[in-house]
Homo-oligomer: A and B are copies of this chain.
Amino acid sequence: MSLMNNLSTSMISSSSSTFLAPTSFNSSRTQSVSVPLKSINIVKCVATPQEQQNAYKTKVSRNANIAKLQAGYLFPEVARRRAAHLLKYPNAQVISLGIGDTTEPIPDVITSAMAKRSHALSTLEGYSGYGAEQGEKALRAALASTFYRNLGIEDDDIFVSDGAKCDISRLQVVFGSNVTMAVQDPSYPAYVDSSVIMGQTGQFQKDVEKYGNIEYMRCTPENGFFPDLSKVARTDIIFFCSPNNPTGAAATREQLTRLVKFAKDNGSIIVYDSAYAMYMSDDNPRSIFEIPGAKEVAIETASFSKYAGFTGVRLGWTVIPKQLLFSDGFPVAKDFNRIVCTCFNGASNIAQAGGLACLSSEGLEAMQEVIGFYKENTKIIVETFNSLGFKVYGGKNAPYVWVHFPGRSSWDVFSEILEKTHIVTTPGSGFGPGGEGFIRVSAFGHRENVLEACRRFKQLYN
């Protein structure tokens, strides 16, 4: 999902130089290739404690779980290195293929619906206040019929949200601190981070680059990026993303059938992240609920972000079938509903109007065009690396290309590419130790930038 998250506009950095590590950077020096590149400011989401000797301190202890989070974590580190690069090369025409942020305009059929809803809020008939925290009925119904027709998912199993990332954290609040969890290794960092924050894990173990008490399910080319379940310990929760971020791998029907059986045998709950399902080219399931029995063991999170360019508009959804029960028989959906009611007030009504427009026949067609554009980008990137003799994974079912640099450090490759081509990628090891030796190249970008990046890759590696 979001890789731009931690790269975005500075928080504490701008006005207090003593308060921040010296990473402030004036992004105005970033220059355009052919289409203006977004200005990037740097934020430091984690900082090391700084004793402020003479300052007043409260007597409130810092949350020990949050203190476990690693300072040198992926995105702040990428941001720091990018910033350092731009200080060194102030005129560099930097291209970002590191960030999973959409770049193409939202189709007019969708933005017009949002504009219409905005204007309606100025009328007596069109005004609406608090909506249902679970989302507007029409949108829930449209989601059910568009994505889950004939899968036994009902409108009221669907919770509309302000994005999958937000729902992942709300799910963690539902689960609490006493559950155990498994993640694909490599995986989207929000699963592990939110688990650490909730106190489900031990400390970070530097030698293995893992947190204690998390089961890392290794996904490599050798196992087709699907974990060897016979070697996976039982956990309460299993986070599973397909098509996968970062590897781009999509699990087959047979693999997902095994995963569901594994969960069922263990009494585990799968949190299935399907944020890239519409990028699927192969005939793999687009929803975990295509697998018989999944409703008793799985939750699915999804998002409009990468389909409609809604990364800034904020709209997603989570499916929790009423058949999914805790060990005492209590429905998981009811506790999620309680959290949604207490900790959230629903997605913006304007964004929901946009979501409904996305699911109209015109909207679906328009989304497919946007997705097709990014898939074309992906193809260009895959062909470039293939032509250079690299082993390339992903790219077919997801907007990410996972390039293998055997025996090399991800960070070294990241630095080499940045230094010599001014292209920002994402080092695979940032997604977990299983990503070491890989680079993730994102296909989100204007065509001119993607083509220029590929020219530079060819210059570097030819």
Residues of A within 8 A of B (CB): 2, 4-6, 8-16, 19, 35-36, 38, 41, 43, 45-47, 49-52, 55-67, 69, 75, 99, 101-108, 110-112, 114-116, 118-119, 121-134, 136-137, 154-156, 159, 162-163, 165-166, 169, 173-179, 190, 193-194, 197-199, 236-237, 264, 266-269, 296-297, 309, 311-314, 322-331, 333-335, 337-339, 341-351, 354
Contact = CB atoms under 8 A, between A and B. Distances in A.
Best-surrounded residue of A10, A114, A137 (most CB of chain B within 10 A): A114
A19 B312 CA distance: 36
Contacts of A127: 103-106, 309
B129 A118 contact: no
Given A329-B55, A351-B350, A322 B194 contact: no
Contacts of A322: 12, 16, 19
A197 B338 CA distance: 10
A131 B193 CA distance: 20
A45 B341 contact: yes
Contact of A174 (B35, B63, B129, B190): B63
A176 B66 contact: yes
B197 A342 contact: yes
Contacts of A60: 175, 179, 236-237, 267-269, 326-327
A335 B41 contact: no
6 tightest Cβ-Cβ pairs between the two chains A and B: A59-B267, A9-B132, A4-B130, A63-B176, A169-B343, A115-B115
Nearest to A349: B312
A438 B179 CA distance: 42
Contacts of A106: 121-122, 127
Contacts of A14: 155-156
B343 A154 contact: no
A131 B338 CA distance: 29
B11 A337 contact: yes
Nearest to A62: B326
A133 B193 CA distance: 16
A343 B45 CA distance: 12
A122 B132 contact: no
A133 B345 contact: no
A327 B129 contact: no
A326 B61 contact: yes
Contacts of A178: 61, 63-64
A57 B267 contact: yes
A329 B134 contact: no
19 contacts: A5-B341, A8-B346, A12-B333, A12-B337, A49-B330, A58-B324, A60-B179, A62-B335, A66-B176, A66-B338, A114-B115, A121-B313, A129-B311, A162-B162, A162-B314, A162-B348, A166-B343, A173-B197, A194-B343
A63 to B, nearest CB: 4
Contacts of A108: 122
Given A115-B115, A132-B11, A137-B9, A345 B162 contact: yes
B121 A345 contact: no
Given A36-B125, A348-B350, 17 more contacts: A6-B341, A10-B132, A11-B132, A11-B333, A15-B155, A38-B128, A41-B132, A43-B134, A45-B341, A49-B328, A55-B323, A55-B325, A59-B266, A60-B237, A62-B330, A103-B127, A108-B122
Contacts of A237: 60
B121 A338 contact: no
A136 B9 contact: yes
A343 to B, nearest CB: 4
Most chain B CB inside 10 Å of its own CB: which residue of A13, A102, A169: A169
A101 B108 CA distance: 32
A122 B103 contact: no
Given A15-B156, A267-B59, A105 B122 contact: yes
A422 B381 CA distance: 65
B338 A46 contact: yes
Contacts of A62: 326-328, 330, 335
Contacts of A313: 121, 348-350
